[in-house]
């Protein structure tokens, strides 16, 4: 199970963060062939 941390420098809305997380998760499913239920992604903001 890969773990991903997304670090952002600016403040984004919850909707924007959700979009980024969903995009990263989809890319991991496409490239790494992880299952859809395997979602270990956390956003960090400064």
Per-residue pLDDT of the chain (46 residues; tens, 9 = 90+): 678 898 988 889 999 999 999 999 999 999 999 999 888 888 887 6
CA 32 from centroid of its chain's CA atoms: 14
Q: State residue 19's pLDDT score.
A: 94
CATH of 4-45, picked from 3.20.20.70, 3.30.429.10, 3.40.50.2300, 3.90.1150.10, is 3.30.429.10
* CA distance linking residue 21 with residue 25, whole number of Å: 6
* CA distance linking residue 1 with residue 14, whole number of Å: 25
pTM beyond 0.85: the answer is: no
Retrieve residue 30's tokens. Answer: 């496409």
Q: State residue 25's pLDDT score.
A: 92
């Amino acid at each position: 199970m890969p773990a991903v941390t997304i670090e952002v420098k600016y403040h984004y809305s919850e909707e924007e963060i959700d979009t980024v997380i969903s995009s990263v998760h989809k890319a991991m499913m496409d490239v790494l062939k992880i299952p859809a239920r395997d979602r270990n992604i956390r956003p960090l903001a400064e």
